């Protein structure tokens, strides 16, 4: 089973609890735990490599970027960016087709410092984002976003089972006699008439089989 790697990017001090909340919802949910491997920089073992080298390598190996934006921009590096914006720019540059999930804490953007306001504006112009006010809302939004991600890849489905179209199962795998006998017996028990359409049409309409 493939595990998708998630890189969580956020101000380490201001959003410490929010970073942990993202990891918590993934590890506490059996479905998410099976399909996702989440990276937090603070979980990295102490090594001689530079912090920048470590997290840039993790970004390059990730399938999903989760960015959380608060009020504080963070310390700028020589490139003029905070770690969070640097990580964001690195991901969209090296993984332009991969998933970017942005969560903005709070609704009042005027409370953010100027650099954060610019960062928020840049994100809003290019990506869909969600706002949250507390950790519970963040957990719910992350959960829903990751389930939608899996649904989009047809790994799991949010659609009710009896409404799912099976594109992998062909009509040739159906035993017509067994199905016909079953339908006739059910019709007798329910005191209803057997549909006056071909068995193939019946199965395509009721079982959502994809015709070939």
pLDDT for 145-162, tens place per residue? 999 999 999 888 766 545
- CA gap 86, 52 in Å, rounded: 10
Domain of residue 195: give its range: 161-206
Question: How confident is the model at residue 176, as a pLDDT?
Answer: 74
- The predicted model gives 39-51 an average pLDDT of 72
Q: Kindly state whether residues 122 and 180 are assigned to the same domain.
A: no
Question: Is the Cα torsion angle 48, 54, 57, 63 positive or negative in sign?
Answer: positive
The 3-state DSSP composition of the chain as helix, strand, coil percent (nearest 5) reads 50, 15, 35
Q: Kindly state whether residues 196 and 129 are assigned to the same domain.
A: no
* Residue that wins the pLDDT comparison between 49 and 53: 53
Q: Kindly state whether residues 124 and 169 are assigned to the same domain.
A: no
Q: How many residues does the chain have?
A: 212
Q: Kindly state whether residues 166 and 91 are assigned to the same domain.
A: no
pLDDT at residue 185 tops 60 = yes
The total number of structural domains in the chain stands at 2
Place 187 in a pLDDT band, splitting at 50, 70 and 90: confident
DSSP strands (E only) in the chain: 4-9, 36-39, 64-69, 99-105, 129-132
**Would you say residue 212 lies in a domain?**
no
Alpha helix segments (H runs only) across 30-134: 30-35, 51-60, 83-94, 114-126
Counting residues of the chain whose pLDDT is more than 90, the rounded percentage is: 61
- CA gap 25, 143 in Å, rounded: 7
């Amino acid at each position: 089973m493939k595990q998708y790697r998630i890189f969580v990017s956020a101000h380490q001090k201001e959003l410490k609890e929010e970073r942990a909340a993202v990891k918590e919802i993934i590890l506490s949910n059996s479905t998410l735990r099976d399909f996702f491997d989440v990276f937090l920089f603070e979980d990295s073992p102490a090594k001689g490599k530079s912090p920048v080298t470590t997290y840039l390598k993790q970004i390059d190996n990730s399938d999903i970027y989760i960015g959380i934006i608060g009020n504080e921009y963070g310390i700028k590096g020589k490139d003029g960016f905070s770690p969070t914006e640097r990580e964001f720019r690195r991901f969209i540059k090296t993984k332009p087709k991969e998933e970017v999930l942005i969560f903005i804490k709070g609704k009042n953007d005027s409370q953010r410092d100027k650099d954060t306001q610019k960062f928020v504006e840049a994100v809003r112009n290019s990506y869909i984002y969600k706002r949250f006010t507390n950790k519970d809302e963040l957990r719910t939004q992350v959960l829903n976003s990751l389930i939608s991600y899996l649904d989009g890849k047809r790994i799991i489905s949010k659609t009710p089972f009896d409404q799912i179209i099976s594109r992998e199962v062909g009509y040739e795998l159906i035993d017509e006699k067994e199905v016909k006998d079953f339908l006739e017996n059910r019709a007798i028990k329910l005191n209803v008439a057997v549909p006056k359409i071909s068995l193939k049409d019946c199965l395509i309409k009721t079982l959502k089989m994809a015709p070939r």
